Structure 1
Amino acid sequence: MDGKLGQPQIVYLHGFCSSPASWKSRLLAEEMARRGLARQFVCPQLSPVPEAAMAEVGRLIEQAPGPVTLVGSSLGGHYANHLAEKHGLQAVLINPAAVDRLDLAKFVGDHVNFHTGEQFFFSEAHAAQLRAQVARPTPARYWLLLETGDEVLDYRQAQDFYAACRQTVLNGGDHSFTRFPEFIPQILEFAEIRAGL
């Protein structure tokens, strides 16, 4: 939270059915470790229950030794928005889900985590929890990264929801945000994280 004096931290929030083993999470963790910054990166395995996921990350934020920047992808982008507004943080949103523009009913049903194999049921009650988390963004907090070739989410929904925020919109790509590696140095700069000694 604001006012903490320790080393700045990045908390990465993965997407729906994903995990800390996701491509972007691993790349960011590896690059930060290479720079001597491993202790300043956290990527929790998020509960498939939205309220439980946010309670867990909220505790991580409260316990962080220094100021936190959130980096969220897909559903993790929605979560980052919710937490940034609740805790007064800044956030990088990567092809984020603009929940108030999605038909969440189509996600209700059984799912399997891409990496862990965990099976879970996403219910209408879970969808209602997501809707209740929607928070209007404070523009100065955010940097939005979009690729127009996102095959999972219509990038224009996020572009509209975060219209007043800093945006980088790139042609092509896909939902994974294919150009993520080249943005890692800029994300670290945004988070005011500098190479370790």
Structure 2
Amino acid sequence: MPNTHLLYLHGFRSSPQSMKARQVADYVARRHPDVTFWCPQLPPSPAQAQALVARGVADWPGARMAVIGSSLGGFYASWVARQKGCPSVLLNPSTDPAATLARYIGEQVAWHNPEDRFFFRPEYIDELHAWDVRGQPPGGPELLIAAQGDEVLDWRAMVARHPQARQIVRPGGDHALSDFPELLDEVLAFCDLA
């Protein structure tokens, strides 16, 4: 039975205005108008983000939903998939954000609105551990898309972290997956939307 709900989780310093989030939203609106689509603005605190997402999908049917996550959102998406038993698409996912985000403690600027500033606090690093489902089997089918040219995260760590996923490793590319329009049909086909 096709999925009726789709969650998109953006990355660190990103927003629902990211290129990929907008492209997924437009695709779903055009081709799957009856699907419930949600891309929340995630707060900087991982604990607050987890509470927001958990509340937002609490009533969603796990057997009829999918989740897409990019970068830090990909790390979060693995947790959602475990909780809901649903398929996930991981786009250049962060594999160990507690390690990689430690250097961002302090004031940060949002990518899509330079006037939007937030403070990334030291305790947020500890909060990331609650999202970590490393070593546990995925909650449902996983699709990993990893760009070898990712300038932020190591694609080899992504491949090693998600061995059970169907893996698409793209030569070249970048962290933002600038070639995402070429992947959109495959990503949404994997989500099996109604």
TM-score w.r.t. length of structure 1: 0.87
Task: Give a deviation string over 1:34-91, Cα, whole Å, max 9, x none.
Answer: 2242643211111111011111111121133672211000000011011211222221
CA contact (8 A) 1:112 1:118 kept: yes
1:28 to 1:38, Cα distance in 2 relative to 1, 3 A: farther
Secondary structure of the 2:184 match is helix
**Following the alignment from structure 2 to structure 1, what is the Cα–Cα distance between the partners of residues 170 and 33?**
28
Secondary structure of the 1:138 match is coil
Q: 2:10 aligns with which of 10, 14, 26?
A: 14
State the Cα distance separating 1:100 from its structure 2 match.
6.2
Task: Give a deviation string over 1:107-134, Cα, whole Å, max 9, x none.
Answer: 2111011124321111221011112321
1:121 matched to which residue of 2? 119
**Following the alignment from structure 1 to structure 2, what is the Cα–Cα distance between the partners of residues 33 and 118?**
28
Q: Does 2:58 correspond to 1:62?
A: yes
Secondary structure of the 1:102 match is helix
1:154 to 1:6, Cα distance in 2 relative to 1, 3 A: closer
**Following the alignment from structure 1 to structure 2, what is the Cα–Cα distance between the partners of residues 7 and 92?**
14
**Following the alignment from structure 2 to structure 1, what is the Cα–Cα distance between the partners of residues 160 and 67?**
21
**Following the alignment from structure 2 to structure 1, what is the Cα–Cα distance between the partners of residues 52 and 130?**
17
5+ long unaligned stretches in structure 2: none
Task: Give a deviation string over 1:141-172, Cα, whole Å, max 9, x none.
Answer: 31100110001111111111112321110100
Alignment-mate amino acid for residue 121 of structure 2: S
**Following the alignment from structure 1 to structure 2, what is the Cα–Cα distance between the partners of residues 10 and 182?**
20
Alignment of 1:69-84 (within 5 A): 69-84=66-81
Q: Does 2:145 correspond to 1:148?
A: no
Secondary structure of the 2:58 match is helix
Secondary structure of the 2:74 match is helix
1:35 to 1:157, Cα distance in 2 relative to 1, 3 A: same
CA RMSD of aligned residues (A): 2.1
**Following the alignment from structure 1 to structure 2, what is the Cα–Cα distance between the partners of residues 46 and 37?**
24
1:39 to 1:103, Cα distance in 2 relative to 1, 3 A: closer
**Following the alignment from structure 1 to structure 2, what is the Cα–Cα distance between the partners of residues 55 and 133?**
11
Alignment-mate amino acid for residue 141 of structure 1: P
Q: Does 2:16 correspond to 1:23?
A: no
1:151 to 1:91, Cα distance in 2 relative to 1, 3 A: same
**Following the alignment from structure 1 to structure 2, what is the Cα–Cα distance between the partners of residues 39 and 192?**
11
5+ long unaligned stretches in structure 1: none
CA contact (8 A) 2:144 2:162 kept: yes
Q: Percent identity?
A: 39
2:164 matched to which residue of 1? 164
State the Cα distance separating 1:30 from its structure 2 match.
1.1
**Following the alignment from structure 2 to structure 1, what is the Cα–Cα distance between the partners of residues 8 and 188?**
12
Alignment of 1:101-116 (within 5 A): 102-116=99-113
Q: 2:48 aligns with which of 47, 52, 55?
A: 52
**Following the alignment from structure 1 to structure 2, what is the Cα–Cα distance between the partners of residues 183 and 78?**
20
Q: Does 2:188 correspond to 1:188?
A: yes
